[in-house]
Amino acid sequence: MNLNDQRNLTMLTDFYEITMANGFFANGFDRDIAYFDIFFRQIPDGGGFCIMAGVEQMIDYIKNLSFTREDIDFLRGKKMFDERFLRYLADFKFSSDVWAVPEGTPIFPGEPIVTVRGPAIEAQFMETMLLICINHQTLIATKANRICRAASGRAVMEFGARRAQGFDAAIYGSRAAYIGGCAGTSCTLSDRDFSIPAMGTMAHSWVQMFDSETDAFRAYAKLYPNACMLLVDTYNVLKSGIPNAIRIFNEEIIPRGYRPAGIRIDSGDITYLSKKARKMLDEAGFADCKICASNSLDEFIIRDMLIQGAPLDIFGVGERLITASSNPVLGAVYKLTAIERNGMIIPKIKVSENISKITTPGFKKLWRLYDNETGKAIADVITLSDEMIDDAQEYEIFDPISTWKRKTVENFTARPLLERIFKNGRCVYETPDLQTLQSYCKNQVATLWDEVTRFENPHRYYVDLSPNLWHLKQELLSQYTIRTK
């Protein structure tokens, strides 16, 4: 479902996009073709990779890109825009080409993950909203993937809706978290609109509403005998919560022909309590009763609890996932890389004293090289758009900064990563369902070496430039070199 059908988000843009568009129009640049890339410079949490997400919402935005009469009247009221420009906006129809790396793909700093080619005004205008879509969901998918990998195959539920920074962040955050590997969400709307399994049991208020913990558990068990997971830490986990849960399982669940779904511990030393709880449940004949942990978890807490032997089966992760609180900004940017006039592509570059902010010019392709023997990803290579990588022959890759670091790869497969999403303004891409994206993400992460996926000091994955692209970049840099004494 496209949640944007109910609202026009065309004007969700930085104001300078509109002032520049007016300026482009006034200077005749509306007839020029511009090329823009989205890329990011740094991986959150010091990680080894990010997970691409947000493409579907980017597509939804572009499909609905149009200026209403109210939009035009608002801009006219600013008394700073040419009337011919306003008429241009009123008649606007999207006509650009767009390429993107598929959602669920591991991505790395510096490489183009979205490319837009189109008339300068519309290509520039989309910057804000495209960055919103990609920055937010890629950030959350990346955090979710870290947490799910820490859980080592145990189910992780996204429990963050109430802590999300706005209702869109809750809805789309749960979508991104599912792509990253989460088993479900607490957000009912995400289940309705994206078919992400909604999960949840009870709050402490449920237990407190009844005269006793036993009464609360009994009432819940009678209502949901086939999915009875009880929250056992309202009063005392070991002295009342677990004993009362066992009693109700025996009195209300087993007689109805069901097995208990589990218990949830939301406070205290969860490692210690879960060990004690496991022993009590097993001795009571409920070895199949799962133990769920929640309470401000993240990948490091989960990893440490499992290392310490906590017999946990499920994790409910809220605020630290949905807000990516440890590093809450991806920082992807949208930069001009070329313009096209009279059929000729003219590469553009942004130069900076900060090396990481120097852009890679031109209309480009992104390739991933896979070792045919191991199936592992060797490196990514950015080439000019008209270049091909022949994987039937040896291919030399080199570090674009430390150029003496070189490697010849052979017996490999070269896979182009950017897929065409729009052609001449028409969407030509069918977004896979979320289950397919989640499975694809898991498979693609498995192609990365363990050294790249570790949490601390991961190996830097190679993102190299083709010789032709490297030389083009050096040529443009030399044109803008300012020599000082």
SS3 label, residue 35: strand
* 337 and 424 co-located in one domain: yes
* pLDDT tens digit sequence for 200-222: 889 999 999 999 999 999 999 99
Residue 323 pLDDT > 90, yes or no? yes
Looking at residue 414, its pLDDT comes to 98
Q: How confident is the model at residue 485 (pLDDT cuts 50, 70, 90)?
A: very low
Flag whether 148 is in a domain.
no
- Does 199 share its domain with 60? no
Q: Is residue 147 in a domain?
A: no
- What is the average pLDDT across 277-283? 98
Task: Average the pLDDT over 452-469 and give the result.
Answer: 97
Identity of the amino acid at 100: A
Domain boundary residue, one of 254, 288, 322: 322
Least Cα distance to 230 among 222, 215, 242, 212 occurs for 242
pLDDT of amino acid 30: 80
322, 337, 354 - which closes a domain = 322
User: What stretches of 98-151 show up as alpha helix (H) in DSSP?
Assistant: 120-125, 127-150
Instruction: Find where tokens 């990481």 sit.
Output: 356
Q: Is residue 484 part of a domain?
A: no
Residue 374's domain comprises: 3-140+328-479
In a domain, 309, yes or no: yes
295 and 369: one domain? Answer: no
Mean pLDDT, residues 450-460 taken together: 96
CATH number (domain holding residue 100): 3.20.140.10
Instruction: Kindly state whether residue 149 falls inside one of the protein's structural domains.
Output: no
CB atoms within 10 A of CB 353: 6
Residues 313 and 335 in one domain: no
- Whether residue 333 sits in one domain with residue 317: no
Q: For CA atoms 243, 246, 250, 251, give the dihedral sign.
A: positive
The CATH number linked to 263 is 3.20.20.70
Closest by CA position to 201, among listed 154, 157, 145: 157
The residue from 269, 302, 322 where one domain ends is: 322
273 falls within a domain: yes
- Please give the mean pLDDT across all residues of the chain: 95
β-partners of residue 379 are 369
Same domain, 340 and 411: yes
Each residue's pLDDT tens digit, 37-88? 999 999 999 999 999 999 999 999 999 999 999 999 999 999 999 999 999 9
Residues 221 and 346 in one domain: no
Distance CA 232, CA 230 (A): 6
> Both 263 and 365 in a single domain?
no
Write down the pLDDT at residue 481. Answer: 73
Please tell me the total count of domains within the chain: 2
* Whether pLDDT at 2 is above 60: no
Nearest 10 degrees: CA dihedral of 240, 241, 245, 248?
Answer: 50
Residue 4 pLDDT > 60, yes or no? no
Q: What confidence category does residue 354 fall into, taking pLDDT thresholds of 50, 70 and 90? A: confident
In a domain, 47, yes or no: yes
Note whether 301 and 233 are same-domain residues.
Answer: yes
Per-residue pLDDT reduced to its tens digit, 109-167: 999 999 999 999 999 999 999 999 999 999 999 999 999 999 999 999 999 999 999 99
Is residue 145 assigned to a domain?
no
Confidence band of 484 (pLDDT split at 50, 70, 90): very low
Rounded CA separation 289/228 (Å): 10
Helix (H) or strand (E) holding 192: helix 188-194
**Same domain flag for 299 and 189:** yes
